[in-house]
Amino acid sequence: MTTDIQEVAQAAGVSVSTVSRTFTKPDLVSAKTRKKVMSAANKLGFRISRSAAALKSGQTMRVAFLTADGVSSWFNSHAFAGLDSVLHPAGYDISVFTMTTARERKDFFQNLPVLRNVDAVVVNSFDIDPQEIARLDDVHVPIIGINVPSNVGFDATVSIDDCAAMHDAVNHLSALDHRNIAFVGQTTHSQLRYSADLRLQGFIDECRNHPSIHETVMLFEPGPDCIDEAINAILTAQPSLTAVCFMKDEIAIPVLFRLRQYNRRVPQDLSIIGFDDIELAGQIGLTTLRQDPYAMGAAVGRKVLDAITLAANSSRNDDMASSAHHRSHSGGHQAADLKRGSSDEGHMISGKSASKPVTGIPAQFETESLASPSTEAYSVFPVHLMLRETTMPLRK
């Protein structure tokens, strides 16, 4: 037999509204009363439905995760797991939305204010158009980026500095006297701009800081022929290459094994640096640039919870201001301004600009407070060069 809320209220000696608040807004109920209500509920086997709690609180308890290629890739799976490690204990589900075109992105943000079916949006590794998300201010849905190429339009982000990481790779090879260096990556025909694209730019910029370096860029279509085409290009390059930087370990590792089939020794004949530090990289001794998507995902999860709290407070402020306006017919709307930043103006919170860049961090990564002064909205995670067995000084 199902127990209803009235029976819990009677057993605890409180009103029905107090029982409801205990489950939906426990911070508004004293510890003593909460204990009485929870004891009665547990004794009677009462459970409030998730949908009823969501309806009462005005929240869906759902977060959207936007990604270009699902959650099966190394980075995406680890970032998703980190995000879930924070959001799941807080009672939130994560819905994955896969999109590869600007049109799909635009449709998602265009429909979101109408559906209002998520409490926050996490964008994974690609940029957004501030014009597309302008309407989200009205429904107080925060947008958080993970490893995005720019902070423009986001309420908060957690990213790495792809350019600086490639600078480290090129400088390491230069210190080992390598001068003919290639960058090997994959092409993309998507209209979306990805964070990994910055790795190529970082490679080119740093090579040009070293006049003695001759850089070569090799980009290949993703697919079954990608590795064969990369190997052929590396082996036939003129002038002959002595070192290669790869866009990601998932290309570097198969190339590494295949080169040995062509009697090309690594690192004696060719030094190799990957990017990511996937599990297999350490096992085979690949020198690579390490990032930690799980930790980044967890950090994004904490920012999501902060942003949802801030948005909920702002929404309540909106309701209070609206009610005051209707009562007096003379008061202005004084809700907190959650205008998102653009390329021409700083990110705004409560009408206060906070666009000053953090010292030592590129201009696209700025800092700002979210729920408290100690919480940085825009965070940059470190990338470490893991020196292993696939790089060595040039043999002259």
Answer yes or no: are the C-beta atoms of 183 and 230 closer than 8 Å.
no
In this structure, the answer to whether residues 265 and 360 fall within a common structural domain is no
**pLDDT tens by residue, 46-72:** 766 555 555 556 678 899 999 988 889
pLDDT on residue 114:
60
**CA separation for the pair 335, 328 (Å, rounded):** 16
Question: Among the ranges 135-139, 256-260, 309-313, 368-372, which has the highest mean pLDDT value?
Answer: 256-260
- Regarding predicted confidence, which is higher, 61 or 320? 61
260 falls within a domain: yes
Mean pLDDT for the chain overall: 82
Residue 276 sits at φ, ψ, to 5 deg, of 130, -50
Q: Who's near 207: CB < 8 A, 6+ residues apart?
A: 170, 181, 213, 215
Measured CA to CA in angstroms, residue 375 lies from 120, 239, 315 at distances of: 18, 50, 21
* 341 close to 151: Cβ distance less than 8 angstroms: yes
Exposure letters 254-285 (e unless 16+ CB within 10 A, then b)? ebbeebeeeeeebbeebbbbbbbbbeebeeee
Residues 169 and 187 in one domain: yes
Q: Are 345 and 355 contacting, i.e. CB atoms less than 8 angstroms apart? A: yes
Which tokens in the block code for residue 390?
A: 């696939």
Percent of the chain scoring above 90 in pLDDT? 53
Cβ–Cβ < 8 Å for 363, 343: no
Which of 95-109, 144-158, 264-278, 374-388 shows the highest mean pLDDT? Answer: 264-278
**Is residue 64 within 8 Å of 136, Cβ to Cβ?**
no
Domain boundary residue, one of 290, 309, 328? 290
252 and 184 within one domain: yes
Residues 6+ apart with CB under 8 A from 374: none
Q: What's the CATH code of the domain at 187? A: 3.40.50.2300
Report pLDDT for 24. Answer: 67
Return the pLDDT at 60: 83
Distances (CA, A) of 51 to 18, 42, 56, 88: 19, 20, 9, 16
Domain count along the chain? 3
Please check whether residue 393 lies inside any domain of the structure: no
pLDDT tens, residue by residue, 79-129: 999 999 999 999 899 999 998 888 898 888 888 866 678 999 999 988 888
Question: DSSP state, 360?
Answer: T
Within this chain, do residues 53 and 80 fall inside the same structural domain, yes or no?
A: no
Same domain assignment for residues 130 and 175: no
Q: Which residues contact 343 (CB under 8 A, 6 or more apart)?
A: 152
Residues 215, 357 within the same domain: no
Are 71 and 38 within one domain? no
Q: Which residue has the tokens 């950090």?
A: 299
Mean pLDDT for the stretch of residues 22-39: 82
DSSP, res 143: E
Q: Please name the residue ranges forming H helices in the chain.
A: 5-12, 16-24, 31-44, 50-57, 74-87, 102-115, 136-139, 162-175, 197-207, 226-236, 249-261, 279-284, 293-328
Residues 326 and 213 in one domain: no
Q: In this structure, what DSSP letter does residue 152 have?
A: T
**In this structure, is residue 334 part of a structural domain?**
yes
Examine the fold and report which residue of 269, 290, 311 is the final residue of a domain before the chain moves on.
Answer: 290
The owner of tokens 């109408």 is 114
Please enumerate in sequence order all residues whose Cβ is within 8 A of that of 187, keeping only pairs 6 or more positions apart, or say none.
219, 220, 221, 222
Residue 338 is predicted with a pLDDT of 30
Residue 72 forms part of a structural domain = yes
Least confident range from 129-138, 154-163, 323-332, 333-342: namely 333-342
278 with 378, same domain: the answer is: no
For 273-320, give the DSSP string: EEEE--HHHHHHT--EEE--HHHHHHHHHHHHHHHHHHHHHHHHHHHH
- The predicted model gives 150-157 an average pLDDT of 92
For residue 32, give the CATH number of its domain: 1.10.260.40
Determine which of 47-56, 133-142, 348-357 has the lowest per-residue pLDDT on average. Answer: 348-357
Give a yes or no: residue 388 inside a domain: no
95 and 124 Cβ atoms separated by less than 8 Å:
no
Contact 271, 390 (CB under 8 A): yes
Confidence of residue 1 (pLDDT cuts 50, 70, 90): low
Q: Residue 335 above 50 pLDDT?
A: no
Whether pLDDT at 348 is above 90 = no
Together in a domain, 133 and 104: yes
Check whether residue 351 and residue 372 sit in a common domain. yes
Residue 396 lies in a domain: no
pTM of the full structure: 0.74
Residue 281 in any domain: the answer is yes
Indicate whether 374 pLDDT > 90: no
Distance CA 351, CA 27 (A): 28
Rounded CA gap, 345 and 366, in Å? 12
Domain that holds residue 73: 62-160+294-382
> Does position 352 have pLDDT exceeding 50, yes or no?
no
- Greater model confidence, 276 or 331: 276
On whether both 168 and 223 belong to a single domain, the answer is yes
> What pLDDT is attached to residue 356?
30
Predicted pLDDT of residue 157:
96
In a domain, 51, yes or no: yes
Q: Of the residues 240, 274, 290, which one is the last residue of a structural domain? A: 290
